Amino acid sequence: MAQEILQQISQRLSESDRTLIAFPFNAQSKESGDALGSALALYRYLDKLGKKVEVVSDGFSPSARFAFLPHIQMVRPEISRDSRYTVRINTESAPIKEWSYGLKKGALEIYLTPASGAVRAEDLSIHRQAYPYDTVVTLDTPDLPALGKLFEDHADLFYQTPILNIDHHAQNEQYGQINLVEMNASATGEILAELFKKIGGPHFDEQIATNLFAAIFLKTGGFKHPATTPNTLKLAAELIQLGARREEIMKNIFRSRSLASLRLWGRALAHLKHDPFTKLTWSTLTMREILESGGDVRELPDVIEELIFTSPEASLVALIHEESEGKICVMLATKKSTRHDGVHALPWQMLSTSPSMTNYCLLNHTLISAEREVVDKLNGMLKLLPH
């Protein structure tokens, strides 16, 4: 972390009066917990400095597994714009000696007495107040469109307000006025932990430590992902010493499997197939199997996560499942997202995407025909990669 960047960040955060923290979030992906935990940690840090802070993520609605995180109630699903207006009077040609105002018959009247000259109609104007933020911090956001409607509906805010961009993805577009992009870090939470160590001082408390530990823990799959480094583990240990609630995090995130997800995992294991050359691993689930498990498609992210951990030889995992008659969906999970960029450009209807998981749907297919097409396309893509 370059000293110059560190100084710029410290100055920006200390001088900012009202900060907006924005991040992308996919409730189906545990890895989104990195952005969420990082945002909540930064919120707490700035709040302790006496700053006004707002935290937003497009359509935010967390699953129960994240409900324990400190300050999660502060995250809003959209940006609100103040309905405040400024009445501006140019006094160059008519300096004002006295002024007052009052309400009369449902109207606001402003009374002006010029010292000399006359106030003309063209001297008066009214303006809607701009966004109240003087700093935007984006977390775990490779590019601004990743923020969804936050960026689509408020592009002027992001173009007109200084942005502090904190991320660890190699594909980050460096769009901020200040960019802290550490590609060697395992998680955005790891970058923030290092940042707070250098500038946090006494403001680094138990709640910040808990959120940062959760961010790193979730992004690394419980420190199992290859991106986990000795520095990651060292930081995790330091966060525990600072009061991070490790047992609570592990209980809520990894020890709360529903009976339905365990049943579905068993069904998926029974159908598991693997191509040893391309290292593609895949499984299928019928609509009947999903219903008989007692759950629904919301259980499937847990299922594919277990398939990843129980298939160490796989580089790409696909879970192909029936969603309704004629509609087959596929969840693609990668262990190293930078190796399989092609999964973001497959010829099917994309439902959602993140650096580690992409969801597609195929229409007018049976489960058998969809499996054949998906496996053929994925194997064709993987065979083009070096082995």
Neighbouring CB atoms inside 10 A of 69's CB total 25
Q: What is the mean pLDDT of residues 104-112?
A: 86
Considering the chain, tell me which residue range(s) the CATH 3.10.310.30 domain(s) occupy: 259-383
Instruction: Tell me the torsion sign for CA atoms 190, 194, 200, 206.
Output: positive
Pairing of strands 18-22, 52-56: parallel
Q: State whether CATH 3.40.640.10 applies to domain 259-383.
A: no
Q: Is the pLDDT of residue 208 over 60?
A: yes
Q: What is the mean pLDDT of residues 103-131?
A: 84
Q: Of 180, 151, 191, 132, nearest to 57 (Cα)?
A: 151
* Cα–Cα distance, 300 to 318 (Å, whole number): 11
pLDDT at 71: 94
Q: What is the mean pLDDT of residues 97-117?
A: 88
Tell which wins on pLDDT, 296 or 329.
329
* Cα–Cα distance, 29 to 13 (Å, whole number): 30
Q: Is the pLDDT of residue 193 over 50?
A: yes
Percent over 70 (pLDDT), the chain: 91
Q: Of 65, 71, 123, nearest to 257 (Cα)?
A: 65
* Cα–Cα distance, 192 to 38 (Å, whole number): 7
* Cα–Cα distance, 89 to 52 (Å, whole number): 30
pLDDT at 355: 61
62-84 pLDDT per residue, tens: 777 788 899 999 999 998 776 56
Q: How far does Cα 141 stand from its chain's mean position?
A: 7
pLDDT at 338: 41
What's the pTM value of the predicted model, to 2 decimals?
A: 0.67
Tell which wins on pLDDT, 203 or 97.
97
Considering the chain, tell me which residue range(s) the CATH 3.90.1640.10 domain(s) occupy: 3-80+132-253
Q: What is the mean pLDDT of residues 173-195?
A: 94
140-155 pLDDT per residue, tens: 999 999 999 999 999 9
* Cα–Cα distance, 367 to 351 (Å, whole number): 18
pLDDT at 251: 74
Q: How confident is the model at residue 337 (pLDDT cuts 50, 70, 90)?
A: very low
pLDDT at 76: 93
By CB atoms closer than 10 A (0-12, 13-18, 19+), residue 107 is exposed
Query: Taking all residues of the chain, what is their mean pLDDT, rounded to a whole number?
Result: 86
9-60 pLDDT per residue, tens: 989 988 999 999 999 988 767 778 899 999 999 999 999 989 999 999 998 8
Tell which wins on pLDDT, 234 or 221.
234
> Could you give the residue ranges of the DSSP H alpha helices within the chain?
3-15, 33-48, 149-153, 155-160, 188-199, 206-219, 230-241, 246-253, 259-270, 287-292, 300-309, 367-383
Q: How confident is the model at residue 382 (pLDDT cuts 50, 70, 90)?
A: confident
Amino acid at residue number 103 = L
pLDDT at 295: 75
pLDDT at 304: 82
pLDDT at 73: 92
Concatenated DSSP letters for 318-387? EEEEEEETTEEEEEEEESSGGGGGGGGG-SSEEEEE-SSEEEEEEES--HHHHHHHHHHHHHHHHHTS--
CATH class given for the domain over 3-80+132-253 = alpha beta
* Cα–Cα distance, 317 to 272 (Å, whole number): 10
What is the b/e burial string over 15-48, where b = at least 16 CB atoms within 10 angstroms of the residue's CB? ebeebbbbbbbbbbbbbbbbbbbbbbbbbbbbbe
- Side by side, the strands of the sheet bearing 349-353 are 273-275, 280-285, 316-324, 327-334, 357-363, 349-353
235-272 pLDDT per residue, tens: 899 999 888 888 888 777 765 566 777 788 888 888 99
Tell which wins on pLDDT, 226 or 303.
303
Q: How confident is the model at residue 202 (pLDDT cuts 50, 70, 90)?
A: low
